[in-house]
Chain A
Amino acid sequence: MDDSTGAMRDLGPAIQTEGLTRRFGDNLAVDQLNFEVHPGEVFGLLGHNGAGKTTTIRLLNGVLGASKGQARVLGFEPVRQGAELRRQTGVLTENPSLDENLTARENLSIYADLYGVEVEDVTRRVSALLERFELSDRADDKVGTYSKGMKQRLALARALIHQPALLFLDEPTSGLDPVAALEVRELIVQLSRKEGRTVILCTHNLVEAQRLCDRVIVLEHGKMLALGTPSELGAELIGRQAVEFELSPDTLALALNTLEGITDPAEIEPDGDRLKVAGIERQQIPELIAQLAAVGARIYTVTTQEPSLEDIYFALHQKSATTEKEAS
């Protein structure tokens, strides 16, 4: 696989949406989305099932038209210039969407033709992808005989057959065993960090999103709940964090007494020669360290524990539920 990632139309955002909305009858599947995705970024679309993630991908790839608002993807208008746009995007759909009566080689070569890969490159590129995804041994077997992990790897290979600049990956590790899921995550890192491709990652696996995504957008009922890096969202939504002090055992009691005097005692959790204090604001941390030092507590390490994406996600949904309840 070479490093070419397809020609970008301009050097602006890879994706830009303004008020992007899609309605199915009375149901608003996507509601007024405004966001930008930078080239080379791994951008997470997070949300429960039915939050509007897949519809957003369809809108961005010109498979569905917007009811209102607009989007530009790689400089193209998705519906009006859909064919041109889709030549530069690769999609891994939530279901692998492979022809199970065809072999892996047939699946890949047919899609190479559909995506307009140069005729003389097809055989070489198909073989290279089969090799890269460790499917060469079974390349001429019908896909129906493959395991779920093999099908997912093949679907990923198919999404890459034309070396797209932008990849839409809808639940790429769903249903995979931990080893296969790890392989897919490593591949996503490689595609983005080493090959410079922009990746839109649709997932409800928050651990995966935290590991892979530069920024995330959280959706609920098609609406954007939040947008930013996981740490930005954590600071904005949760504000408080946990701090863990590793102390000399002979000054542990002294440190505990001091901390109980300046923080909520219920938030302090002793653990061996460590004291974990939850619910701390970032600006309080230097003051706590200074106070402990002042009473003679000997501190070996201070570890801050930022809120995980999971904490943020649930805080967002809780906030949204409270707002809805208040409104009704």
Chain B
Amino acid sequence: MNWRAIRALMRKDLLAVRRSRIVMLPLIILPLILIVLFPAGLGLASRLLPEALASEVSDLQQLLDALPPSVRSDLVGLSAADSVMIAMLVYLFAPMYLIVPMMVSAVIAADSFVGERERKTLEALLHTPLTNTEMLLAKMLSSWMAALAVTFGTFILYSLVVNLVGWQAMGGPFFPNLTWFLLVFWVAPAVAGFGLAVTVLISSRVKTFQEASQLSGIVVLPIVILLVAQLSGAFFLGPAITFALGAVVWVIDAGLLWFGVKTFRREELLARL
């Protein structure tokens, strides 16, 4: 395996992404909404409009009742508005956070082959000594590492925001917990791998970046299902389940990687030039 060439292609892809407005915008806007605006808004609502938020508690009571006893004990003594805020930010929001690695990896991966084709830079790349496997690996690694960088960066930001908005209610720093550590350092890398693997498989077979982005949108579906399951009380992301979830996604990733390496051919890309 020619690691120097792989690193060179990753560098090229990451530079191209960093300098492309069409790719960078969704990478900035979505995490900003999910990680800063949403928790900050919830925190502000519990401070400025506690009655309004508390009035929703009766509707959310069923949701709070579905939480495991260990979690409910964390909320004992909190006002109704604070209970809702902490439950949302620390427990119920967890699956939604996975959208960040999934989406970032999918957007960059969509750009990796289709974007290269649209920019008419693909043919020169195909004439380099990179083997099919090295080319695929470089494309996947650049998307994956960018997704991890954004995921870890936004996790730090989210931790700061959640601690700030919940400080008064909890009396000090209280976030992250073990589930979140597992989510960010075990599940999120696997989810990023899943998003990019599916997208690279799609993007090497379609013609435009938009087509690839739209098709790769289906990778968010499992996260939406996870979120609904958690909100309905059918499922709760505790440490054990989070660990198991990560293991399942890693196994799927390995299968997708194997399939990608087996089926990826330069010729298929050329046929679409």
Contact = CB atoms under 8 A, between A and B. Distances in A.
Contacts of A113: 4-5, 7-8, 11
B19 interface: yes
Contact of B121 (A98, A106, A142, A168): A98
B63 interface: no
A99 B271 contact: no
Contacts of B61: none
A82 B270 CA distance: 16
Of B12, B124, B267, the most chain A CB neighbours within 10 A belong to B124
Interface string B96-119: 000000000000000000000001
Contact of A63 (B15, B121, B131, B266): B266
B5 A116 contact: yes
B73 to A, nearest CB: 53
Contacts of B15: 99, 101-102, 106
Contacts of A142: 19
A93 B5 CA distance: 20
A286 to B, nearest CB: 52
A321 B182 CA distance: 71
A115 B129 contact: yes
Interface in A62-77: 63-65
B126 interface: yes
Contacts of A63: 126-127, 266-267, 270
Contacts of B120: 95, 97
What 5 pairs across the A-B complex have the smallest Cβ distances?
A: A113-B8, A97-B124, A101-B19, A91-B127, A86-B129
Interface residues of B, number: 29
Contacts, number: 85
Nearest to B127: A91
A116 B2 contact: yes
A96 to B, nearest CB: 8
A131 interface: no
Given A83-B129, A93-B124, A97-B124, 15 more contacts: A63-B266, A83-B130, A86-B127, A91-B124, A91-B127, A93-B123, A95-B123, A97-B125, A101-B19, A106-B12, A111-B124, A113-B4, A113-B7, A116-B129, A168-B127
B75 interface: no
Of A24, A58, A86, A110, the most chain B CB neighbours within 10 A belong to A110
